[in-house]
Amino acid sequence: MSRELKFVEALQEAQDLCLERDPSVYVMGLGVSDGAAMFGSTKGLVEKYGPKRILDMPVSENAMTGVALGSALTGMRPIMVHLRLEFAMLAMDQIVNQAAKWHYMFGGQASVPMVIRMVVGRGWGQGAQHSQSLHSWFAHVPGLKVVLPATAYDAKGLLISAIEDNNPVIFIEHRWLYNMTDKVPKGMYRVPLGKSNVLLKGNDVTIAASSYATIEALNAAKELEKEGISIEIIDIRTINPLDEEPLLESVKKTGRLIVADIGWKHAGFAGEIVSRVVEKVYQYLKEPPIRITLPDVPTPTTRALSNFYYPLPSDIVSAVKKLLGKAAESKPDIKPEDFLDVPYLEFRGPF
Amino acid sequence: MLEYKKEISLVLLRDTLRIRMIESRLAELYAEYEMRCPTHFSLGQEAVAVGVCHHLKKQELITSAHRSHAHYLAKGGSLKKMVAELYGKKTGCATGKGGSMHLIDLDAGFLGAVPIVGSTIPIGVGASFSAYLQGENKLSVIFFGDAATETGAFYESLNFAAIHKLPVVMICENNLYSVMSPLSVRRPEGIKLSNIPQGFGVQSFHADGSDLEEIYQTAGQAIEYARSGKGPVFVEYINYRWLEHCGPLSDTHLGFRTEEDVINGKKKDPVRNYKDKLLKAGILTDSEFSKWEKEIAEEIQEAISFAKESPFPEKEQLLEHLFAA
């Protein structure tokens, strides 16, 4: 049965169902069992499963990731949660040197069924260290699966697949998706890892995107539809392993590619997508591809600057028009004092 | 003297001699340049592994670090598979993908070894935590060197194991050097390592890592303490590395220690000293010892032949095992 659920509720439900079904699943993270419950994504779980399985932990990200790994090697399925992605960086040794390699370097004898959830912050002045999406880093490392859901439906189905997967999965959740709603069936269902999704069918321009950039691409597509421009959106829900077929097929049809990403441009995921397309279906391209990303500077705190840091749906609209040789509309008049630091006006800090 | 069990004394000595002979032979053969992986020999440090692992059940897990041969062998890891692994062969314990720094033998309860200093400490804690989550009490023993106690992972792991009173035994072999860096540049003067865990409320021991009986008895107390559910234990053993940090040669020409230092260090030879003790006590005879040497030499030769004759992995295996099914 479908009902509307928020993205955050879908995450909670996925974990709840897996915890209920499989006693080897447990959740750990700083604050997973506190009153705020990771922005609500672990709400009610400690009451149902107790403080052992919903484990609050010392601020020791590196060792705790190692503990999770050691437990995964010996029969458990840990879900580790970081309220901001940046805290996972303290555990890069355990994630990159150990978890990613364990299966391969021991000749396939052991596996690491483990999910690391990381929230990408944005808005209300998150600043340089509460806002980074380093999915490109993680995707660069062989042995890590990297998943970025954009809808509540996918959030639930992908998280269940990630928990059931026998590999380390980096699960990246954009904070601005948390309150967005979607039709979400009750009960268990799986969205397979490593499958891109044609989220919107169209003929004129292909937009490859993931996470919150997918939502912005959808918004741009709605605008463009009014002008009779038809956009195809490929939601790259798993960036490693990457399912490139739907993307290549789409570019063969449209001949035009935009990649919208929530990360930086240099040496990043958007560049990887462009490379794949250029290497494999170059002859179909009618125009050079365009990347819409963050500028290569750290995230500023004041909205007077962050208003110009994050791309807007209007940037996607302009890029589409450029590819189609249409007159670009005049840039929206953004003022430093505008409240572009929130997804909607009710979204408040301080946290 | 382990009066109460003379046979244990003999087994301890024989097992230590076995590792000594394996490591000596592998160090000789390393010069053929057929073992093409960084290799950290355990020569001089064999006894701690033996004295500790002798207390362990097969299913009790251990983890180790870069210098792991002795731990792997003492826990019952397959010699043939270890040697084959060093030769990069398909029959190796990690199918050739690991080498000396990535030993594993799950059948023997050897969960794995990696060379990033300190990294296996939390992983070993996790192996015990897994049982804790399932309402069981399962011992996990973690071997590491003195330098690992300088990593954050060590302190974080100690703290977490103490919070949940996990049955974890941390065995620190202090061989005085990290590669070539002495303790004086790595630790404030006058700090006794075995005092540090006490700040976390963790029981700790300090013992001579060249004296097989002292090792065995201290390990017995430590393991008993952890098994009884009182929480983690830390043991510091002082021992001495005979060879260079990585490789089969001497390192005295590099200036951080002298030939004389090494000669002095070797005076605390766990094999020779314990052998002399058991001979004097009439527990061991020279002919028994010679018989061991012969048997062990044969076992080693068999393992080396196995490794040399084994096939390399096929090139198709390059892309295999990236992800688990």
Q: Which residues have C-beta within 8 Å of that of residue B250, sequence separation ≥ 6?
A: B243, B244, B259, B262
Q: Mark yes or no for CB contact B116/A76 under 8 Å.
A: no
pLDDT in tens, B78-95: 999 999 999 999 999 999
Considering the domain boundaries, does residue B317 fall inside one?
A: no
Q: How far apart are CA A242 and CA A251, in angstroms?
A: 16
**CB proximity A146 to B under 8 Å:** no
ipTM: 0.95
**Which residues share a beta bridge with B238?**
B174, B208
The lowest-confidence range among A273-282, A302-311, A323-332, B155-164 is A323-332
From chain A, the residues in CB contact with B112 under 8 A are: 73, 102, 106, 110
Separation in Å, CA of A249 to nearest CA in chain B = 26
Q: How confident is the model at residue A135 (pLDDT cuts 50, 70, 90)?
A: very high
What is the per-residue pLDDT for B5? Answer: 82
Q: Which residues have C-beta within 8 Å of that of residue B158, sequence separation ≥ 6?
A: B170, B197, B200, B202, B232, B234
What is the per-residue pLDDT for A241? Answer: 98
Count of A-B CB contacts under 8 Å? 147
The residue of B37, B121, B130 whose CB has the most chain A CBs within 10 angstroms, and thus the best one to mutate to test that interface, is B130
Which sign, positive or negative, has the C-alpha torsion B230, B58, B74, B34?
negative
| pLDDT(A233) > 70 | yes
Q: How confident is the model at residue B4 (pLDDT cuts 50, 70, 90)?
A: low
Q: Is B4 helix (H, G, I), strand (E, B) or coil?
A: coil
Q: Is B61 helix (H, G, I), strand (E, B) or coil?
A: strand
Q: How far apart are CA B275 and CA B285, in angstroms?
A: 9
What is the per-residue pLDDT for A328? Answer: 76
| pLDDT(B176) > 90 | yes
Q: How confident is the model at residue A348 (pLDDT cuts 50, 70, 90)?
A: confident
Q: Which residues have C-beta within 8 Å of that of residue B257, sequence separation ≥ 6?
A: B177, B251
B292-304 burial, b at 16+ Cβ within 10 Å, e below that, comes to beeebeeebeebb
| pLDDT(A1) > 60 | no
Q: Which of B94, B123, B133 sits opposite A26 (nearest CB)?
A: B133
Which residue from A239, A295, A231, A225 is spatially nearest to A258, judged by alpha carbons? A231
**Three-state DSSP string of A30-76:** CCCCCCCCHHHCCCCHHHHHHHHHEECCCCCHHHHHHHHHHHHHCCC
Contact A190, A227 (CB under 8 A): no
A61 is catalytic: yes
pLDDT in tens, A157-211: 999 999 999 999 999 999 999 999 999 999 999 999 999 999 999 999 999 999 9
Q: How far apart are CA B64 and CA B42, in angstroms?
A: 12
- Annotated active-site residue in A9, A82, A130, A272: A130
From chain A, the residues in CB contact with B127 under 8 A are: 70-71, 73-74
Q: Which residues have C-beta within 8 Å of that of residue A279, sequence separation ≥ 6?
A: none
What is the per-residue pLDDT for B2? Answer: 59
Q: Which residues have C-beta within 8 Å of that of residue B62, sequence separation ≥ 6?
A: B53, B56, B71, B75, B109, B110, B111, B124, B140, B141, B142, B143
| pLDDT(B290) > 90 | yes
Considering the domain boundaries, does residue B321 fall inside one?
A: no
Q: How far apart are CA A297 and CA A222, in angstroms?
A: 30
Which residue from A38, A41, A45 is spatially nearest to A9, judged by alpha carbons? A41
**CB proximity B232 to A under 8 Å:** no
Question: What is the secondary structure of A209-237 as a DSSP string?
Answer: E-THHHHHHHHHHHHHHHTT--EEEEE--
Which CATH number is B34's domain given? 3.40.50.970
Domains of chain A: 2-185 (3.40.50.970), 197-323 (3.40.50.920)
Instruction: Give the pair of three-digit tokens for residue A16.
Output: 């709840």
Considering the domain boundaries, does residue B62 fall inside one?
A: yes
Q: Amino acid letter at B45?
A: Q
Counting residues of chain A whose pLDDT is more than 90, the rounded percentage is 95
Average pLDDT, chain B: 96
**CB proximity B130 to A under 8 Å:** yes
Count CA atoms within 13 Å of residue A140 on its CB side.
11
Which DSSP helix (H) or strand (E) runs through A15? Answer: helix A7-21
Angle among Cα B156, A92, B176 to the nearest 5 degrees reads 55
Q: Amino acid letter at A262?
A: I
Considering the domain boundaries, does residue B324 fall inside one?
A: no
pLDDT in tens, A310-336: 999 999 999 999 999 998 777 889 999
Q: Amino acid letter at B85?
A: E
Q: Mark yes or no for CB contact A64/B322 under 8 Å.
A: no
Q: How confident is the model at residue A138 (pLDDT cuts 50, 70, 90)?
A: very high
What is the per-residue pLDDT for B1? Answer: 56
Instruction: Give the pair of three-digit tokens for residue A332.
Output: 């929206």
Considering the domain boundaries, does residue B202 fall inside one?
A: yes
Alpha helices in chain B, H assignment, sequence order: 6-30, 46-53, 69-74, 79-86, 120-133, 152-163, 212-227, 259-266, 270-280, 286-309
Residue B286 structural domain: 6-242+249-303
Instruction: Give the pair of three-digit tokens for residue A52.
Output: 């052992």
Nearest CA in chain B to A23: B134
Q: How confident is the model at residue B3 (pLDDT cuts 50, 70, 90)?
A: low
For the residues A96-100, what does the mean pLDDT come to? 98
Contact B284, B17 (CB under 8 A): no
Which residue from A230, A229, A204, A208 is spatially nearest to A217, judged by alpha carbons? A208
Nearest CA in chain A to B164: A52
Considering the domain boundaries, does residue B320 fall inside one?
A: no
| pLDDT(B16) > 60 | yes
Q: Which residues have C-beta within 8 Å of that of residue A100, sequence separation ≥ 6?
A: A141, A142, A143, A144, A168
What is the per-residue pLDDT for A350? Answer: 77
A270-304 burial, b at 16+ Cβ within 10 Å, e below that, comes to bbbbbebbeeebeebbeeebbbbbbeeeebbbebe
Overall number of domains in chain B: 1
